[in-house]
Chains A and B, each alone.
Chain A
Amino acid sequence: MTNRQQQPSRRQMLAVGGAAALIGMVRPARAGRQLTVADPGGPYSPGYRKAFYDPFEQETGIRIVDVAREAYPTAQFKAMVQTGSYIWDVCTLTNFDRDILAAQELLAPIDLAATGDPGLMPGGVTPLWLGVDVYATVLAYRTDHFPAGGPQSWADVWDVARFPGRRALHKSPIDTLEQALMADGVPAPQLYPLDVDRAFRSLDRIKPHVDVWWTGGAQSTQLLQSGEVDLCAMWNARAQAAIDGGAPARIVWHQGLYDIEGWAIPKGCPHIDMARQFVAFCAAAKRQARFTGKLSYGPTNLRAYADIPPARAAILPTAPANLAEMAGANGDWWRTHRAAVTERFNSWLLG
């Protein structure tokens, strides 16, 4: 699956034997025709390898070394550019992280305009970033708890009388505030700018009925999988993992919020040309279609659906039927309001 032979070799690692070994443990210089890319790790690595890395290696002869990036790579990204110690050349970023880094001028242009693919969805490409996969925050519920049909909207989730059951929300204001507003009747296209006061008033109503505020993606899977909760606001792939594992659960695409993740290149990257070549390579519909076999994320190039079986497409956020039900998350609004709203959210949770 992954190819990490070029990392500090095992021989070096085993040669540890005192102070001298410390010198040997410092990272070796990277070889020339080789690109190091940081993906989110976990199931992404084999999915991306099949879709992008292996085909790229075959086509260009440039080796791709993939590493798992941090869950939140921005701090590392910043430190890397500021100190000029580049440990990778390309990295996946959510459009939210992209905006933070772009604002601090830490990204290099990807120069994709020339080869830009017409199939890319709106917001799927910027001068600094190419969106590759789409994930969505959706509602998922246990079908065994709601045999006669479960909640179909956030308003239903807020309606504890009609839909009794244990509920879990994300312990983060992002997405949760939008959900609260939609539950209060705000139509998805009119969410932004968020009416924060109204959102918190709405949250006040559901707060006593929230049994778990989850913090990690795997935790949300575990909650749904084990039946710890009956309804859960969560990422579609996390819900899909529970369903794939046999949990009686269903995803509700209606009123979902999607977000895009994609490649960016750190400013000052020593392999900028190869990096740009790689990013452009990942825009093609056929290549994006290949990762959807392993990952339940949607391709940004909507033409990819020509190569995706309908049964598989049904569980992907960018399948036309699903995408129509959802709205895009607005990173711009959050970038300016996140600190203050997070502070208020934390305070509200403790209150």
Chain B
Amino acid sequence: MTVLAATGAGRGLRRRLSRTPLWGAAPGVAFLAVFFLFPVLRLLLLSVQDADGGFSLGAYARAFSTTVYLHVLAITFAIAAETTLISLLAGLPLAYWLTHLPPRRRGPVLLLVMLPFWTSALVKTFAWLIILGRNGVLNRLLLAAGLIDHPLGLLHGRGGVMVGMVQAMLPLAVLTMLPVMLAIDRRLNDAARTLGASSVQAFWRVFFHLALPGLAAAGLLVFISALGYFITPALLGGPHDTMLAQLIITEVQEMMDWNFGGALAVLMVAAALLTCWLYERAFGIASVAGGAALPDPRRPLRRLGLVLLGVTADALSAAGGGIAARLGPRLSGWALPAFCLPVLAFLSVPTMVMLPMGFTSSSFLDFPPPGFGLSWFRMVLASPLWRDALLRSLAVAAATGIVATVTGALAAYAVARQGGRWGGALFALFLAPLAIPRIVVAFGLFTLFARLHLVGTSAGLAIGHAVLALPMVFVTVLATFKGYDWHLDQAAATLGADRRRVLVLITAPLVRSGLAAAFLFAFITSFDELTVAIFVSGGIVTTLPRQMWDDMILQLNPTLAAVSAIVFVIVAAALLVAELLRRAE
């Protein structure tokens, strides 16, 4: 509202606007316009300038004068696509299994799925180095068991990259497709079976089709997130696993060629937007919000997508049926857990390896630790640097959570109430930060913040993190509103409550579990965020991931593991509190 007033909107317009629920989106729109659209567009502008600010297409000429950037872009796409494919293939059975668990058991298993979220990307990557190295945990186990004669080369190739990236992305895939799967009417499965479909056929012909919007949404989120990855491929990959984000960071930070860095960022954004567009054509963007629309088979691209999926489903159904027939009903009943339990183990292994190393007496990350000692914890807790970083991370995450939840939830309310053309536009806007790789947002914010004197401030960090967290909040709250009975609002209005009081007294309390989940998402997004922190913190306001990153560049010791253990405890406590609140409801 204040924004509207500030823009000097006329009285009539204001009265008209105050009657539509769209006003709720105003704070979020203003926020995104200033801190997302503007910096990203400025970056676009930067890419068509030369070093002196004059118009120039030199950066693009350079980008296309050699094949190396297109080659890296192709590699980036390939890595993102492979990550997406594997995450979906592993995530689908896992999510399906989760839908079949009784709710009481589902909660704890879900926490296990989310375990990788609780450990920073950096730490997870180093954990993989320790597990998969030539003298790593896995090779030593296999050698000791006599299964291999020579250590396997598991790292420094595409395989290593996939291990690291899938482990990071799988939770996102599962959490995105799960709500859609849970919303599927279980009786449809019964119906299919009474009509003569075996349980394998019922899965592929009915459940799978109905879960498609969720799968498609998961695929998009994973793909876009994977596009912007740089740490994992750099540390686990080989010379052929260079991602575009790495080159952008080099251009911006080492070469200081912002114009060329901007051009590469534009290349990345263009690729990401193209993907989103194709996705929208094939599946409808609304499915990101969870189970909204089924594909309309009339559009040619969608029909193509559906036909492809249908053929795949048939083939998989036949194969699955064959396997199930061979295994027999008893064994095939065990097939799902037999697949899912190792996947869960895969998700939690890096954390399980990293945590004990914080309690090591060694000055290196050795697993298993040669001896027990608390010196690294003492070091971390005694160090003002780490203490400040921890407190700042908590404060920034809390501020991010509040800002993102308030603006995002209001926007979700507006879209849920209004819908229509404006609703669609808002929907696209609030999901847009997901479609732009983080590195681009971070770089754009950096150039903007430098002008606003926000580089090196906690406020700058919180703003940047809120931009990244808004889509999560928006989608989560919007999904909550799907099941909301708007008659309750109407009832409150007939009983004399004005719109604001309806929102505060009726709507908000009724969707509070959704709001709490959204806050938690935003909190964790900020708490584990590194890219924006690298660009915006200025080394002055160090957050925990940023401090870990700095530490890692210069030295590698069990501080990382000790900090991870502390973070683990904090996040676990936050999730536990959230779970208790939910149960109390």
Contact = CB atoms under 8 A, between A and B. Distances in A.
Interface in A25-62: 25-27, 38, 40-45
B462 A226 contact: no
B457 interface: yes
Nearest to B459: A25
Contacts of A343: 66, 68
Nearest to B456: A87
Contacts of B296: none
A277 interface: no
B67 interface: yes
B234 interface: yes
Interface residues of B, number: 76
Given A70-B534, A79-B446, A349-B239, A1 B457 contact: no
B540 A67 contact: yes
Contact of A69 (B68, B406, B539): B539
Interface string A240-263: 010011100000000000000000
Interface in B90-148: 126, 129-130, 133-136
Interface stretch (B247-255, B311-319, B433-441): B247-255
B455 A76 contact: yes
B551 A42 contact: yes
B568 interface: no
Interface string A208-239: 00111101111101100111100000000000
Contacts of A14: 391, 395
A85 B542 contact: no
B129 A1 contact: no
B447 interface: yes
Given A41-B550, A79-B447, A227-B134, A346 B68 contact: yes
A2 B540 CA distance: 13
B554 A218 contact: yes
Contact of A42 (B68, B126, B256, B553): B553
Given A13-B391, A75-B253, A212-B156, A68 B542 contact: yes
Interface in B315-373: 362-365
B261 to A, nearest CB: 9
B79 to A, nearest CB: 13
A241 B555 contact: yes
B392 interface: yes
Contacts of A67: 539-540
A277 to B, nearest CB: 22
Interface string B225-247: 00000000011001110100011
A342 B540 CA distance: 30
Nearest to B253: A72
A178 B68 CA distance: 22
B206 to A, nearest CB: 45
B455 A7 contact: no
B541 interface: yes
B260 to A, nearest CB: 8
B257 interface: yes
B462 A25 contact: yes
Nearest to A216: B553
Contact of B555 (A8, A75, A100, A218): A218
B48 interface: no
- DSSP majority for the B interface? helix
B385 interface: yes
Nearest to B542: A68
A26 B459 contact: yes
Contacts of A213: 156, 238-239
B254 A74 contact: yes
Contact of A217 (B246, B385, B447, B553): B553
A40 B453 contact: no
Interface in A60-88: 67-76, 78-80, 82-83, 85, 87-88
B555 A7 contact: no
A227 B135 contact: yes
Contacts of A7: 388, 540-541
Given A7-B540, A82-B450, A346 B72 contact: yes
Interface in B200-245: 234-235, 238-240, 242
27 contacts: A16-B398, A18-B406, A22-B459, A26-B453, A27-B456, A41-B550, A68-B385, A70-B253, A71-B553, A74-B254, A75-B258, A76-B538, A85-B450, A85-B453, A87-B455, A87-B539, A88-B539, A100-B256, A171-B239, A213-B238, A213-B239, A215-B246, A218-B553, A218-B556, A227-B135, A342-B250, A350-B72
Given A2-B383, A21-B399, 14 more contacts: A3-B384, A7-B388, A8-B458, A27-B541, A42-B554, A70-B539, A75-B252, A212-B238, A216-B234, A228-B129, A228-B133, A349-B239, A350-B71, A350-B75
9 smallest beta-carbon distances between A and B, as pairs = A42-B554, A79-B450, A72-B253, A218-B556, A347-B68, A13-B395, A25-B459, A85-B453, A25-B458
